[in-house]
Structure 1
Amino acid sequence: MVSNSLMAAAGLLLISTLSPGPNNLVVLRAAAHGGLQAAGPAIAGIVLGGLAMLGLVLAGLGSTFLHSSSLRTVVATGGAGYLAWLGIGLMRAHAGNEDRTALPAGLAGLFGFQFLNPKSWVMVLSLVAAFPQVGLATTLAWLAPAFVLIPTASLLLWASAGQRLAVHFQHPTTRRRIDCAMGIALLACAILLLL
């Protein structure tokens, strides 16, 4: 029973981490600007943030979310607002001034970003809710390796794509278009979250 649930959880985790979202866009952009070495701290922050969220949800925060519609609304609205702000920042950024984008960066920035990323919350809450009730330690022992291996592999794929885009980021017009496309994607995520 647990092994079947783990396979289902791994599949959901794989689909969630491979599909476009804020984490993937940040990693793609970091790799495009500085290669895999620049994306490494972002990937570590995302993975460690996901593990921290998993621990918090298993420790009881998940039931608080389930029973408090106002808390879910606050987190969804705050997360959507932050995603919209990041998206607008990317769309407004000048090609030569990446600092204006205000995207989260580094291990600490992406660790904290996980707690503002609605997609991360939905993924963790869904996985924990669907997993059999086998106790905190056992559930953590089953899910933690998946929460490390699958997102790391998915984010490395996104970083590889970013590295391939690096040549295009050297051209200001192309970089501007890519930043606008990523900004629109983040803004769309925010709007869909509010709907």
Structure 2
Amino acid sequence: MSFETLVSLVIFAAVTSVTPGPNNAMVLASGVHFGFRRTIPHMAGIALGYGVMLAIIGAGVGTAMSVSPLVEVAMRLASGAWMVWVAWSLARSTDAGRDAARIRPMTFLEGALFQWVNPKGWVLAISSMSLFTKSGDLVTDIAIVVAVYVVTCLPSSSIWTAFGVSLRRFLEVPWRLRAFNISMAILLLASTLPLIFEPV
């Protein structure tokens, strides 16, 4: 990979990692409900889980999906069902302190596995591998793409989590927290459902 391509990859990864999407909406909500420290395993799971998914897609899963529409449809349906369930659970959350005692934040493994039903993650992973890997040195290019995304995911997730933590005092008022949770649920659905229902 040339230096110019690497710079383009870093910019692409940074911008796509920090913009709103399912992962960032979820760590923002986790920051509000559970604080920064308890969200760290979730953030680590996102970064490493997405890295693993990138590597597997680079090895050929993305090509297999494009060849088999049935596989793509199945993935979209699974993603849609999971996103609706997550959004519904988030919208029903009421009190940050009560929720922290009654439920728990996502674990490392859950954060990692979530990447496989994240439509934005799939689109970006396939795009990244198409744009920034070449057949001449494929293994090295895949490793670089994975490393760049793992490194950029962590600060991006941290920014959104910290923003959530900063909102905790403001959201101590029940109706504000309720409005926040519903807004995050809508954002979660709005950022993913259009991707799920695109024509195959």
- TM (normalized to structure 2)? 0.86
Describe the shift of the 1:32–1:21 C-alpha distance in structure 2 as closer, same or farther (beyond 3 A). same
Describe the shift of the 1:102–1:72 C-alpha distance in structure 2 as closer, same or farther (beyond 3 A). farther
Describe the shift of the 1:103–1:187 C-alpha distance in structure 2 as closer, same or farther (beyond 3 A). farther
* Cα displacement string for residues 139-181 of structure 1 (whole angstroms, at most 9, x for unaligned residues): 2332232112111111111111111111123222211111000
**Is 1:19–2:19 an aligned residue pair?**
yes
Match of 1:79 in 2: 79
Give 1:17-166 correspondences, 5 Å limit. Answer: 17-95=17-95, 98=99, 105-131=106-132, 132-166=134-168
Deviates more, 1:5-14 or 1:32-41: 5-14
- TM (normalized to structure 1)? 0.88
Q: Distance in 1 between matches of 2:56 and 2:104?
A: 25
Describe the shift of the 1:86–1:128 C-alpha distance in structure 2 as closer, same or farther (beyond 3 A). same
Q: Distance in 2 between matches of 1:102 and 1:86?
A: 13
Deviates more, 1:16-25 or 1:80-89: 80-89
Contact 1:18 1:155 in 2 (8 A): yes
4+ residue runs of structure 1 moved beyond 4 angstroms? 101-104
**Is 1:172–2:187 an aligned residue pair?**
no
Gaps of 5+ in 1: none
Contact 1:46 1:114 in 2 (8 A): yes
Describe the shift of the 1:20–1:169 C-alpha distance in structure 2 as closer, same or farther (beyond 3 A). same
Describe the shift of the 1:58–1:33 C-alpha distance in structure 2 as closer, same or farther (beyond 3 A). same
Secondary structure of the structure 1 residue equivalent to 2:23: helix
Gaps of 5+ in 2: none
Q: In percent, how many aligned pairs have the same letter?
A: 27
